[in-house]
A = this chain, B = another copy of it.
Amino acid sequence: MSVPHPSPRLSIGLVGFGAFGRLIARHLAPYATLTIHDPYLPAGRVPAEPTAVAGDLRSVAACPVVILATPVASLAEVVQALAPHLRPGTLVVDVGSVKAGPAAILRAGLPAEIEILATHPLFGPQSAGNGAGHGLRGLKIAVCPIRGRRPLRAAAFLRRGLGLDVILTTPEAHDRAMASVQGLTHLIAKVLVAMEPLPTRMTTRSFDLLMQAVDMVRHDAPDVFHAIERANPHAAEVRQRFFALAQQLDAALSAETLDAGPDPLAS
């Protein structure tokens, strides 16, 4: 097989088997033996993943690579429970929608000899394909190496092994960008969903694109929305700017005469 991977049948531990944990398991199964821990997953065989094994936190911690796919809000608790069982040199990876808070939690909560890679795959089950080992090609992932040398090797695997578009960044730069990217998308989607039913037949191409964007995030778990809007330290500022500009536009449109005046938001 010509696809490069970090080592033959690497052993990877995965904490969390929600929508994103399942996506990770499906795409890593061709490269690694997975041990998965999730409070809702009984020990033994894992549904839909014949090569994976469900186990306790201790058995996951014994793997040389441990991926945390838990909600951002419970990361601190998971790290605290996991830390005593990790072996020196283990690489711990998170996949949350914000990075500054989680990176700080990982740095503070894990012993100095544990290596850390903070990531944010910029896609979800809606945009990734369903095939095992492919379907991720060209999708973007933000990657912040936090501690140690293994994070850079892992980033190389994400690029060359999985074909991901790896964007090397810092937790701070990531959170600033995502406050706009995800903050605005989810905000707009939330409001549009609340306005439904909206037209589906008599539509423009631009409205169709808008609703395609809505459809990609409308089934996201509530904790994803909250991670994006609450756990991101810049989200409130972006939100307030959006609402202020929207109000300004509303006021301009209410005040104007029917004549086409100058652009109400032009600077």
Residues of chain A touching chain B, judged by Cβ–Cβ distance below 8 Å, are 71, 73, 122-123, 126-127, 139-140, 142, 167, 169, 173-174, 177-178, 180-182, 184-185, 187-195, 198-199, 201-207, 209-210, 212-214, 216-217, 222-223, 225-226, 229-231, 236, 238-243, 245-247, 249-250, 253-254, 256, 258-265
Chain B residues near A239 (CB-CB < 8 A): 250, 253
> Which secondary structure characterizes the binding site on chain A?
helix
Chain B residue with the shortest CB-CB distance to A262: B222
Residues of B within 8 A of A205 (CB): 122-123, 127, 139, 216
Residues A259 and B73 in contact, CB atoms below 8 Å apart:
yes
- Bound-complex Cα distance A6 to B242 (A): 49
Whether the pair B180, A199 counts as a contact (CB closer than 8 A) is yes
- Given the interface contacts A167-B201, A188-B188, A258-B73, does A195 sit within 8 Å of B180 by beta carbon? yes
* A142 CB contacts on chain B under 8 angstroms: 202
Listed by A's residue number, 5 A-B pairs whose Cβ atoms lie within 8 Å are A123-B205, A185-B204, A188-B210, A206-B214, A225-B263
**B194 and A245 form a contact (CB under 8 A):** yes
In the docked arrangement, what's the CA distance between A243 and B217, Å?
21
